Amino acid sequence: MLANAIIGLEFVERTFRATGSSDMSQPLAEIERIKSAMREGLTEIRRFIFDLRPTMLSQRGLVATVEHYIETYRSFLPPEVDLSLPPQLPRLTPEQELTAFRVIQEALQNVHRHARASRVSVTIGASDGELTVRVRDNGQGFRPSAVAPTSSSGFGLAGMQERAAVVGGRVNVRSRPGQGTEVTLVVPITLQPADAVANEARAVPTYKPKERARREPD
């Protein structure tokens, strides 16, 4: 519905421009403002639908879902987006994958709303039994200690920390005015049952019966 309304506004805009009148600058500016607000609303609706049930997460895993999310909303991110994603990542529990995705999602939304950054990087890695997710921008930064966790301008920090705690993880936010922001999530890796069984099977050495020494005939 919003998409059709935007198309209708663009038709009205073209009609106004075709009149060639010199006093149409204000109406055209207002139409552009409405179009921009409607596009923002359409994106928010799509994001809300995606938020309700990111089915891709359960079907294709964390890395593919993050790539898809960034490509979908790239126009709302800084001009430079650097991704450092592992080619393969063990399938974690659904709760862990959802937590990691939500932290990335919230951090990127904060970049869009508050950071005024020209670059953002998203890094996902796994080592020493831990999943590490890092979102870093070069924006205006802020003082985390000056932000009340429960305030409406709390950048979702409390929500990210609560999500991480549920799966035994932690979120660290580093930021200073004028020096950008870095959000880091660390979660202990717990494999999904199928992967856990497969990894356990690979870890168990294959049993090979020892050959008995042959006795030479007398």
48-74, pLDDT tens digit by residue? 555 555 788 888 899 999 998 898 888
127-182 pLDDT, tens digit per residue, is 999 999 999 999 999 988 877 554 444 457 888 999 999 999 999 999 999 999 99
Structure tokens at 218: 């007398």
Structure tokens at 193: 């049952």
Q: What percent of the chain has pLDDT over 70?
A: 62
Grouping H, G, I as helix, E, B as strand and the rest as coil, residue 32 is helix
What is the dotted CATH code of the domain comprising 62-199? 3.30.565.10
* Cα–Cα nearest to 17, from 33, 28, 26, 9: 28
Residues 6+ apart with CB under 8 A from 38: 2, 5, 6, 9
Residues of the chain with CATH 3.30.565.10: 62-199
89-116 pLDDT, tens digit per residue, is 888 899 999 999 999 999 998 998 889 9
Whole-model pTM: value is: 0.65
